[in-house]
């Protein structure tokens, strides 16, 4: 191998031949630089291997089961949901047809006796933007997130996803819940699978292209948000920039929160609330708090200042669709209040926020997210498929869960000094109307980071939180929920342009299309008093003096 000093002598000699004296020193040095870069590219190309050749460079502990080039528009997801609506399947199929050609690598990790982690890394055949993007999962994971891989691929990223080591888990199928009866699997789900996927991706990217990614990013919401926080806390060198939303990071306590809603309604049969009454309750909240930002638009922009009292719609006499009975009021107050220890009154998990009421019906009457918590208690915690949720103890069971699984599943460590020292940037977001994971959990975590890092100024240079008014769990609702997360985190990470406000739009079909500025917490967006109320330019981010953070 020729030394760097010897190489420079060769390059300068070649430059002397290529350049006549009249071009001078500047041109000569430019040619030296071009020759050096070209030599570097040639060396990188020489080190690179073909897609099929990646089988020979499997990361430590991994078995590569597939390494092949997928042609333009030729990918078909192996886990396509056959029960999905036809329009959804058509949309996904079309999205895959728009994919460019890419190198697809599938791997299996077995870091522990019960482990079985599936990973896929996708790398563009051409047009790679020089960056890696890891994408997150939802619920208990259980499968590769092909849709998010496709989205990253269309933006030019090399990208990766894992099944979090819980392959085959699907909430409606109780027979698959047994995968949770293993501490190895819980550790994989908690943090190990995501980290191993990330390490593997960087190795394969360097092997294929001859150079590693210039920057590595993470993007995930819900469980994917938890994965992002786990990376920042446990493996601070893995990613340069992390986007995480509505995170299931206080996982064990979230499981109790998801049972709290039904327990509150179950404690008194008379306290059950017909779904239609949530509409009346939400209407009452809007009447009380919608106009606080200067615009009546069906959105509570500052829920922390919404001091709504559900007693205002108490039934005066007989029960009716527009009022709440005494027993129903008790249920509503329990949901707003959040899960609490019945003995000490200590909070277990924050309650729901005014403005989220339209999502409560799904939490109380439809076995959606509640199934995630049921599977946790029956299989992961108690490992008794006959365990009855009516026996759930919001005192002793919380202690048991934290001791048994807290280290594996909870990602609430506020000490992000190592991530900051690495130059990492963390973009947090949460829908204010999220009915599944209380948005106050993100607020509390952000405040804990501020406290741990020594104040706002030492925190907001690398961590910022954006709350999304009128937005549900990760997306949906009347609020502005669509914004270019990757452009924001890339500018912040690569150019040092920290976001003070992010323009988002309402991407849904219901109601008029709107745009709003998302403000860095604790600021909120208020109408300027003039201009189009559907346009973000008519709003400004303002800080309430009562909400200043130290």
Q: What is the pLDDT of residues 111-135, one digit of tens each?
A: 999 999 999 999 999 999 999 999 9
Same domain, 325 and 293: yes
Catalytic residue among 249, 434, 438, 515: 434
Does residue 496 form part of some domain?
no
Catalytic residue among 473, 481, 515, 538: 473
Residue with tokens 């819900």: 222
Does residue 472 form part of some domain?
no
Does residue 474 form part of some domain?
no
Same domain, 322 and 188: no
Burial of 8 (0-12, 13-18, 19+ CB in 10 A): middle
Does residue 258 form part of some domain?
yes
In this predicted structure, what is the pLDDT of residue 539?
96
More confident residue, 192 or 3: 192
Question: How do residues 317-363 score in pLDDT, each as one tens digit?
Answer: 899 999 999 999 999 999 999 999 999 999 999 999 999 999 998 77
More confident residue, 153 or 370: 153
Does residue 130 form part of some domain?
yes
In this predicted structure, what is the pLDDT of residue 550?
57
Question: How do residues 387-441 score in pLDDT, each as one tens digit?
Answer: 999 999 999 999 999 999 999 999 999 999 999 999 999 999 999 999 999 999 9
What domain range includes position 67? 54-205
434 has catalytic annotation = yes
% the chain with pLDDT above 70: 86
Same domain, 62 and 38: no
pLDDT band, very low/low/confident/very high, at 52 (cuts 50, 70, 90): very high
Distances in Å between the alpha carbon of 17 and those of 33, 38, 200, 245? Answer: 15, 17, 45, 58
pLDDT band, very low/low/confident/very high, at 45 (cuts 50, 70, 90): very low
SS3 category, 400 = helix
Element (H, E) at 91: helix 86-97
Same domain, 69 and 116: yes
Same domain, 28 and 162: no
Q: What whole-number distance in Å separates Cα of residue 81 and Cα of residue 83?
A: 5
Distances in Å between the alpha carbon of 392 and those of 258, 269, 377? Answer: 12, 17, 9
% the chain with pLDDT above 90: 77
Q: What whole-number distance in Å separates Cα of residue 528 and Cα of residue 521?
A: 19
Same domain, 194 and 130: yes
- Regarding beta strands 102-109 and 117-124, do their DSSP bridges make them parallel or antiparallel, or are they unpaired? antiparallel
Q: What whole-number distance in Å separates Cα of residue 88 and Cα of residue 382?
A: 37
Of the candidates 406, 427, 444, which is a domain's last residue? 406
Does the pLDDT of residue 211 top 50, yes or no?
Answer: yes
444 has catalytic annotation = no
In this predicted structure, what is the pLDDT of residue 480?
95
268 has catalytic annotation = no
Same domain, 64 and 129: yes
Does residue 16 form part of some domain?
yes
Determine the average pLDDT of the residues in 453-472: 97
Omega cis (within 30) before 408: no
In this predicted structure, what is the pLDDT of residue 229?
98
Determine the average pLDDT of the residues in 54-60: 94
Same domain, 293 and 359: yes
pLDDT band, very low/low/confident/very high, at 86 (cuts 50, 70, 90): low
pLDDT band, very low/low/confident/very high, at 454 (cuts 50, 70, 90): very high
Same domain, 173 and 306: no
Determine the average pLDDT of the residues in 177-188: 96
More confident residue, 34 or 511: 511
pLDDT band, very low/low/confident/very high, at 545 (cuts 50, 70, 90): low
Same domain, 127 and 67: yes
pLDDT band, very low/low/confident/very high, at 78 (cuts 50, 70, 90): confident
**Into how many domains does the chain fold?**
3
- First and final CA of the chain: distance in angstroms? 56
Q: Distance from CA of residue 77 to its chain's centroid? A: 22
How many residues does this entry show for the chain?
A: 550
Determine the average pLDDT of the residues in 160-188: 93
Determine the average pLDDT of the residues in 158-162: 98
Determine the average pLDDT of the residues in 164-176: 90
Same domain, 93 and 38: no
- Residues 521, 527 contacting (CB under 8 angstroms): no
Of the candidates 205, 238, 264, which is a domain's last residue? 205
Catalytic residue among 148, 182, 222, 301: 222
In this predicted structure, what is the pLDDT of residue 138?
95
Same domain, 9 and 88: no
This prediction's pTM = 0.89
Q: Distance from CA of residue 370 to its chain's centroid? A: 20
Does residue 108 form part of some domain?
yes
Does residue 523 form part of some domain?
no
* CA angle centred on 54, ends 50 and 59, rounded to 5°: 150
Of the candidates 187, 205, 223, which is a domain's last residue? 205
């Amino acid at each position: 191998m020729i030394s760097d000093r010897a190489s420079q002598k060769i390059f300068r000699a070649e430059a002397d031949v290529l350049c006549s004296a009249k071009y001078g020193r500047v041109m000569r040095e430019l040619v030296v630089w071009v020759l050096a870069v070209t030599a570097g590219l040639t060396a990188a190309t020489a080190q690179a291997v073909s897609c099929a050749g990646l089988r020979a460079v499997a990361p430590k502990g991994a078995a590569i089961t597939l390494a092949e080039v997928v042609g333009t528009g030729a990918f078909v997801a192996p886990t396509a949901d056959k029960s999905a609506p036809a329009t959804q399947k058509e949309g996904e199929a079309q999205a895959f047809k728009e994919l460019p050609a890419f190198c697809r690598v599938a791997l299996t990790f077995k870091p522990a006796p019960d482990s079985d982690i599936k990973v896929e890394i996708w790398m563009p055949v051409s047009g790679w933007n020089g960056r890696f993007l890891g994408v997150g999962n939802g619920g208990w994971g259980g499968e590769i997130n092909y849709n998010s891989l496709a989205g990253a691929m269309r933006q030019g990223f090399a990208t990766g996803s894992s099944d979090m080591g819980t392959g085959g888990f699907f909430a409606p199928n109780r027979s698959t819940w047994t995968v949770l009866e293993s501490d190895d699997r819980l550790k994989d789900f908690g943090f190990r699978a995501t980290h191993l996927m990330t390490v593997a991706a960087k190795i394969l990217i360097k092997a294929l292209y001859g150079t590693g990614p210039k920057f590595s990013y993470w993007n995930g919401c819900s469980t994917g948000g938890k994965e992002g926080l786990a990376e920042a806390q446990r493996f601070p060198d893995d990613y340069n920039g992390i986007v995480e939303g509505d995170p299931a990071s206080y996982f064990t306590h979230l499981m109790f929160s998801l049972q709290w809603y039904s327990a509150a309604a179950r404690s008194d049969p008379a306290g059950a609330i017909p779904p239609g009454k949530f509409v009346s309750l939400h209407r009452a909240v809007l009447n009380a708090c919608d106009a606080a930002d200067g615009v009546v638009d069906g959105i509570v922009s500052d829920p922390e200042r919404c001091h709504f009292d559900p007693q205002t719609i108490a039934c005066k006499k007989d029960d009716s669709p527009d009022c709440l009975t005494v027993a129903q009021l008790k249920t509503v107050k329990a949901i707003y209040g959040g899960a609490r220890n019945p003995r000490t009154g200590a909070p277990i998990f924050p309650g729901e926020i005014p403005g989220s009421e339209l999502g409560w019906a799904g939490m109380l009457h439809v076995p959606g997210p509640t199934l995630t918590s049921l599977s946790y208690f029956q299989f992961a915690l108690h490992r008794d498929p006959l365990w009855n949720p009516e026996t759930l103890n919001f005192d002793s069971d919380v202690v048991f869960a934290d001791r048994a699984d807290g280290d594996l599943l909870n990602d609430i460590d506020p000490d992000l000094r190592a991530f900051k020292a690495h130059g990492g940037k963390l973009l947090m977001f949460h829908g204010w109307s999220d009915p599944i994971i209380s948005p106050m959990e993100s607020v509390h975590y952000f405040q804990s980071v501020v406290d741990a890092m020594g104040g706002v100024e030492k925190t907001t240079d690398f961590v910022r939180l954006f709350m999304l008014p009128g937005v549900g769990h990760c997306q949906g609702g009347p609020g502005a929920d669509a914004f270019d997360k990757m452009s924001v985190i890339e500018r912040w990470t690569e150019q040092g342009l920290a976001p003070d406000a992010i323009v988002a739009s309402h991407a849904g079909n219901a109601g008029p299309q709107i745009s709003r500025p998302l403000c860095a917490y604790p600021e909120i967006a208020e109408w300027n008093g003039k201009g189009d109320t559907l346009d973000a330019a008519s709003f400004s981010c303002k800080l309430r003096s009562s909400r200043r953070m130290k």
